[in-house]
Structures are given as C-alpha cells and as structure tokens.
Amino acid sequence: MDVTILAVGTELLFGQTVNTNASYLSKQLNDRGFNVMYHHVVGDNPNRLKRLLIHSLEDTDLVILTGGLGPTQDDLTKETVAEVFGRELLFDEECYRLLVEHFEQRGRKMAENNKKQAYIPEGATVFHNDAGTAPAFAIEADGKCAICLPGPPREVYWLFDHGVSDYLKRFHEKEMVYKVIRTIGIGESDLEMVLMPLIDGQVDPTIATYAKEGECTLRVASQRDTREEAEEAVDAMIREIDKLIGEYIYSYEDTPLNEVVVHLLQKYSLNLTSAESATGGAFAKSVTDVPGASEIFTHGFVTYSAEAKEEILDVPEDIISKLGVVSKEVALTMAAGALERAGADIAVAVTGCAGPTADPGREPGEAYIAWMTGGRLPSTSSCIHIETKRNERRWNRNYFCLRMLSSVYRVILNVEKEGLLPIQG
C-alpha cells in the first residue's frame, strides 16, 4: 500500500523544527511492508493543506498527517480533513472526559480553547492520547484512509504504539518481522565486510547496517505469508550472524547498552559506582535513566576539578601534579576512591578532555577509562586509553559514556564466564 506522510506546521517551514516524525513513521511503515512514496510539509494554512491532502489522497491510498491538532486557532488539520472527507465534527463525550481528567490529574485548569480538542470527525476511529491532550483518529472512505496524529514526536511515538500500529494491520498484505542487533567495538565498514557473504545477494531476510554514534546496529528483516515463517527466517539468519560477529553483540533485542548493563547488575545484585571528570555526570545519568537503577547504583561522584578528585576520591595530589589530570594513574585512583567511598562491587572512572578545546599538549577526545572491582568480587582493575580524534564535545562525552558502559559490561561477562558469582533469583 502506498503512503504519504503529510506534516502540518509553520515551524517546520521556518526551519525551527526538524521533521523527525516523517523519518520515524517511514521506518515503522516500511517495516510493516508499506511503501512510503512522499513526505510533504505544509504550513498552518487550511487552503494549501486542503489542496495537498486532496493530491495526496489521489496519489496514495493512505495519508498520515502529523501536527495541527492543538487547541489554538491556527490548528486546523482536523477541520480540513473533515471537510475533505465530507464529515461533520462531532463533540465526543469520551474525549472530553479524558481531556478534563488530563488537566485534573495535573492540578491545572483546562483553558477554554482546549475544549476544541474533543471534537472528532463523524465516523472516525479515535486513538486516545495518554502522552498529550490531542486525540488522534483515522478516517476511511472509498478505499482511502487518513490518519491524523499530533505534532510532538513523543505523542506520535506513544500513539503509534498504542492504537495506530494495530489499526494498520487491516492494510498489511504480508507479515513482517524484524530484529535489531546492537554491537559495540566494530565499525560499520568492518561489520559490512565481515557480513558480506551473508548480505550479498540476499533477498529475504534482508540485513541492513546502521552506524549510530560510537556503535553499530544491524537490522534483520523478513516478510513472509505468516508471522511464524518470518520469525523463523530472521532467527536462522541471526544464528549465522552470531557465528561471524558474536563477540561484538551486546543485544539481540535492540536494547540500549545502559539497560543491558543495569539488568545484568540487577541479575547478580552487584553495586556499581562512577567517578566522572570529562563526562560530568553523563555516565551516572545514563545508568539512572533506566528504571530500577536505584537497586544497583547508590553513589556517583562528579569530580570535575583536580581538588575535587583529591578531596572526594583521595586521588594523591602528587600523582596529579606529576602525571597530569588526564592520566592512567588518576583514572585508576579515581576508580579506587569511588569503590571505597561507595562500598561498591564495581567502580568505573573517566578522566579526559571532551573538547571543543584542550589544554596545551592534550587533544580533545582523549580519555582514560579505568574500572576496578572489589566488594563481593575478586579485586581486579584495568584502564584503557581512548583517542577519538574529534573535538565535538557532545559526541566525545557520549562516546566516553558508551565505552564506560561497555567496560562494565565486559567486567560482568568475565565474572559470569568464570563462574565467580551465583545467579540470583
């Protein structure tokens, strides 16, 4: 089935917002066997929207609209779609009740203009929106369908998972199954080279590689008549992939590295702590982003200055003055100090330079990452040296965090392999 994705919003035409909804929806739709033919963006102007919508419904059978469902005067998507499909807007009691509830729960007064959001085109299928105030809906006529979603990406993702995805099943011809494998420690070109014998000439399942910041993911997809057949084909291919690059894979289910690490720590009831200089709290954040992290992470130290490293983590002053703040010894003593202070089983520490500039003799992107075990684990420690050769602060900080996570991941795998810990529960 051919699809158009039509975004409504002047802020997109001003260039203030990037149309990430279009790429998100395209990915989801392609995964389900739809052909996305066009993306369009139009401003908050009902005449131009109407013309573009009519064109799009002529060109393709399904049009997914995003934006313009808000409470304000310039939000006119719903009115325009209703007009094009020749439907009235009707007051929907259930939508209104949920709107009122939404505001009550937040202890806020509902503005008068929010009431507009409870009107829905006659005969439309409503998708209630727990992530915001605007309900989404689908409307069908003469083999054509329009689905209207709000603009904020968070709401689009929520609604897609809670209603829209199921609704789309009526249009599927084949069943599509895909799995996303995450790797770390191998570049995209190398990954592609190693997997070439599997990728070359492969029609189904397909294998696609994507480089993300500092890591690579693989997407294995199959479209078959039944879900079972597609799943079997994907799993068989993953077994082949595993033979070639198993050592680099940390998730077979598209789970981010911070979640994988937190779940492993939970599984073994291990306590982690961190001592951060260059990442300035970003590592602790990435760990505590995972719900339930409090079970395995109790203390985090952000020691951004040399004095903080000495005062809080007992890094000896002479090590810093002799070897410099960005050194293996400082990273190791930071880890030791944090391990001791927090009474943890594993400590990870980073000292380095995130950029964009660096102290004389140093380069942005350089860092030492040390880890140390103790507590319930045998005492071990190690340190790696990283040079990203980049000066983008955000990129470097993110990459340092990933390498800290992957260090912790390897530590736990080793412990697991050597049978040093009993599995809990």
CB 89 within 8 A of CB 79: yes
Decide: is 152 part of the binding site for a copy of itself (CB under 8 A): yes
Which position among 141, 208, 413, 420 is part of the footprint of a copy of itself (CB under 8 A)?
208
299 binds a copy of itself per the rule CB under 8 A: yes
Binding mask 165-194 for a copy of itself (x = CB under 8 A): ---------------x------xxxx-xx-
Distance CA 129, CA 229 (A): 34
Closest C-alpha to 333, from 306, 315, 311? 315
- What does the block give as tokens for 376? 């319930």
By CB under 8 A, name the one of 85, 127, 268, 297 that touches a copy of itself. Answer: 297
| Rounded distance between C-alpha atoms, residue 338 and residue 318, angstroms | 19
Among 86, 93, 108, 170, binds a copy of itself (CB under 8 A): 108
382 scored as a contact of a copy of itself (CB under 8 A) = no
Strand 215-224 relative to strand 249-251, pairing: unpaired
Question: What is the DSSP secondary structure assignment for residue 135, as one 8-state letter?
Answer: P
Beta-bridge partners for 193 = none
| Contact by Cβ (8 Å): 69, 75 | yes
390, 410, 416, 421: which one binds a copy of itself (CB under 8 A):
390
**Residue selected from 46, 185, 281, 375 as contacting a copy of itself according to rule CB under 8 A:** 281
CB of 384 to a copy of itself, least distance (A): 15
- Alpha-carbon distance of 309 to 330, in angstroms, equals 9
Please classify residue 199 by burial: count the beta carbons closer than 10 Å to its beta carbon, then call 0-12 exposed, 13-18 middle and 19+ buried: middle
**249: Cβ–Cβ under 8 A, 6 or more apart, which residues?**
181, 182, 183, 242
- Of 149, 156, 342, 370, the one binding a copy of itself by CB under 8 A: 342
Q: Which is nearer to a copy of itself, 183 or 388 (CB)?
A: 388
For a copy of itself (CB under 8 A), the number of binding residues is 99
- Residue 87 beta carbon to a copy of itself: minimum distance, rounded to whole angstroms: 26
Nearer to a copy of itself, 18 or 141 (CB): 18
Out of 8, 32, 52, 237, point to the residue binding a copy of itself (CB under 8 A): 52
**Residues 8, 28, 138, 315: which binds a copy of itself (CB under 8 A)?**
28
SS (H, E, C) 160-196: HHHHHHHHHHHHCCCEEEEEEEEECCCCHHHHHHHHH
CA distance 306 to 299: 20
Q: What length is written for the chain?
A: 425
The reply to whether 251 sits near a copy of itself by the rule CB under 8 A is no
| C-beta of 322 vs 394, nearer to a copy of itself | 394
Q: Given candidates 114, 222, 351, 396, which one binds a copy of itself under the rule CB under 8 A?
A: 114
Residue 98: name the closest of 121, 129, 119 by CA: 129
**Cα–Cα distance for residue pair 183/247, rounded to 1 Å:** 9
Residue placing its CB nearer to a copy of itself in the complex, 80 or 139:
80
CB of 235 to a copy of itself, least distance (A): 19
CB-nearer residue toward a copy of itself: 64 or 139: 64
When binding is defined by CB under 8 A, the residue of 23, 47, 321, 380 that contacts a copy of itself is 23
By CB under 8 A, residue 414 contacts a copy of itself: no
Output phi, psi for 325, to 5 deg.
-65, -35
Interface with a copy of itself in residues 301-320 (CB under 8 A): 301-305, 307-308, 311-312
Binding residue for a copy of itself, selected from 162, 174, 267, 285, defined by CB under 8 A: 285
Minimum CB distance to a copy of itself smaller for 134 or for 233: 134
